[in-house]
Amino acid sequence: MFETGFHGVIKRAVVIGNGFAGAENQCIGLLRALGLSSRYSLYRVLRPRGAVNEWLHWLPVSVHKKVDNVIRKIYDDSRCFLGKKVVPVLVENGGKNAGLLDVLEADANQIAKMARDTFDRDGPLLVVASGRDTISVSSSIRQLAPENVFVVQVLTVGALHQADSAALRIAASLWHDELALLPKPMLVVNIGGPTRNCQYGEDLAKQLTEMLQNVLWSCGSLRISFSRRTPEKVSKILLKEFSANPKVYIWDGRGPNPHMGHLAWADAFVITADSVSMLSEACSTGKPVFVVGAERCTWKFAEFQKSLHERGVVRPFTGKEDISETWSYPPLNDSAEAASRVIEAVSKRGWITHA
């Protein structure tokens, strides 16, 4: 939404999400970096899941209609938007469940068509394309979409996220009583789940268990968290091995999620290679990050791991580490860099963001 005047002042933002935390967090992370963390509304467009729907994931039509209906609601909802002008922003980083464009499973032609059919009626469309694998798509959008579409290409290393310095300061305070007095160094282990391009199962779980046992002597405390994607057969192996160890705490999914507290208070991380988001968050802290399973990744996930290693922000987890030893590196700051590019782009149109 805008207030008019010498400048158009961007007052509010709208996130059209797909129900996947990793996707929506990227949009919200960008908004935090733009100073709009308390000025956005979230609408969700969800595909039916389960049964035959799993075989129909390639059909974009029904979701496209849902998105169009949501956008119409956004334009018409005077209670939320006060009749002000709305400038849609699409965020895409080319990954699975990466954002609205991925929900649509859209290529450049579909994006351009949506821009013509949906957004052309009321102002410009900003497409934030982050990641090197979106270069060809964003270039095609420029060629195919109408003049009201302008693209910001941000060559981010990882995913945009919400774990900025302000969020971590708040988390440090909220989790102080539970985490501050734990023996140091604190090693946090974040376990995701296998994907098509990072496949693993019980074999990696057993390997990780053995390696953690080997480094446990150098840890003051060890905290393990599973994600919603973690297969039960993987979590069971680690639970069986460590649940009785007084040095080890395993979050079982009940109660508040300690993830942000772990980012704030951990001294080092071990993270499975499948999760671009968890790795991006950890690598923004400047703390040592070890990766397990990177050799199993293919396609752009392998390129992501290679980029992290070349920058010196991660090291492979071998089970021979002394967790008390540390190293330094320039932390990833993709959300702030993306926001800077967006601010630069919109300022050329005479707009400013309302801090």
Domains with residue ranges and CATH for the chain: 2-157+334-353 (3.40.50), 165-316 (3.40.50.2000)
Distance CA 312, CA 329 (A): 6
Of 72, 76, 90, 115, nearest in space to 18 by CA:
90
Over the chain, what is the mean pLDDT?
78
Distance CA 89, CA 83 (A): 18
> In which band, very low, low, confident or very high, does the pLDDT at 243 lie, cut at 50, 70 and 90?
very high
User: How large is the C-alpha radius of gyration of the chain?
Assistant: 21
Residue 27 is encoded by which pair of tokens? Answer: 């949009």
What letter does residue 52 receive in the DSSP assignment? G
pTM of the model: 0.81
Q: Is residue 200's pLDDT more than 70?
A: yes
Q: What is the pLDDT of residue 24?
A: 83
> In which band, very low, low, confident or very high, does the pLDDT at 245 lie, cut at 50, 70 and 90?
very high
Distance CA 335, CA 128 (A): 11
Residue 128 is encoded by which pair of tokens? Answer: 């934030």
Residue 63 is encoded by which pair of tokens? Answer: 């979701």
Q: Quick one: average pLDDT of 66-74?
A: 56
Of 203, 334, 225, nearest in space to 269 by CA:
225
Q: What are φ and ψ of residue 351, in 5° steps?
A: -110, 150
Distance CA 332, CA 88 (A): 27
For β-strands 13-17 and 2-3, DSSP reports them as unpaired
For β-strands 186-191 and 268-272, DSSP reports them as parallel
Q: What is the pLDDT of residue 18?
A: 72
Distance CA 297, CA 295 (A): 6
Q: For residue 191, what are the β-bridge partners?
A: 226
Q: Is residue 293's pLDDT more than 90?
A: yes
What region does 191 belong to: left with phi over 0, alpha with psi -120 to 50, or beta?
beta
Q: Are 270 and 292 in contact (CB under 8 A)?
A: yes
Q: What are φ and ψ of residue 247, in 5° steps?
A: -80, -15
Q: Is residue 5's pLDDT more than 70?
A: no
> In which band, very low, low, confident or very high, does the pLDDT at 128 lie, cut at 50, 70 and 90?
low
Distance CA 29, CA 27 (A): 5
Distance CA 265, CA 184 (A): 10
